[in-house]
Amino acid sequence: MGGFFRQLVWWLPAGIALTDTVLSVLVVEGQSMWPTLNGEGRFWRDVVVVEKLTYKWQHKYQRGDVAVLWAPDQPHQQLVKRIIAVEYDVVWDSEKNAPQKIPQAGLGGGRCWMEGDNPDASGDSRNVYGPVHLGLLEGRVTHVLWPPWRSGAVRRWYPHDRLIVEAGGSNGGPMGGRR
């Protein structure tokens, strides 16, 4: 039995480091990302893979990513939303019925515009948070693992018609083009 605990003491920190910085698994609750996630309604919750290297180490955030983020108003709650716009972009805010410029990176870092795929069931940048700080992003949802009939890659897309000005490059930037 002593060997088991020695192994546990050795591997536990490695496992924690791996799930904190590289890859983790998350159970998605709620209908804010329906039909992309939890497409089976209230009977099944999707279990997804969250890849973290791209955000935590490379700081590469792309429009269309389904991202896991820490709720700005509830620091112990994680949310799953889609990145619609990144810094320098101008997006159409359907709640205010006006354009919204995503602030550029400053001393505190950049921001992005996050929305759920199901607007009727989503508290997001449109109606609760406004532009979200990139430091709150935890990782990118890449695959659905469960239920088995929904397993596969999560598609990256965003509503192009909502962007008024799309900044150049995946991380934004001063270049922009009218859409």
Asked whether residue 7 is assigned to any structural domain, the reply reads: no
Asked whether residue 14 is assigned to any structural domain, the reply reads: no
State the pLDDT at residue 79: 96
Asked whether residue 15 is assigned to any structural domain, the reply reads: no
Question: What is each CA distance from 61 to 26, 42, 45, 98, 105, in whole angstroms?
Answer: 19, 30, 26, 24, 13
- Point out the catalytic residue in the list 52, 81, 122, 125: 81
Active-site residue 60, yes or no?
no
Which candidate, 66, 53, 48, places its Cα nearest to that of 17?
53
Whichever domain contains 154, its CATH number is 2.10.109.10
Q: Are 55 and 138 in contact (CB under 8 A)?
A: yes
- The two tokens of residue 60 are 């590469």
Domains in the chain: how many in total?
Answer: 1
The model's pTM is 0.84
Asked whether residue 159 is assigned to any structural domain, the reply reads: yes
- Point out the catalytic residue in the list 32, 52, 122, 125: 32
State the pLDDT at residue 113: 96
Asked whether residue 3 is assigned to any structural domain, the reply reads: no
Containing structural domain, residue 120: 24-178
- For 61-108, the pLDDT digits (tens) are 999 999 999 999 998 999 999 999 999 999 998 888 999 999 876 666
State the pLDDT at residue 40: 73
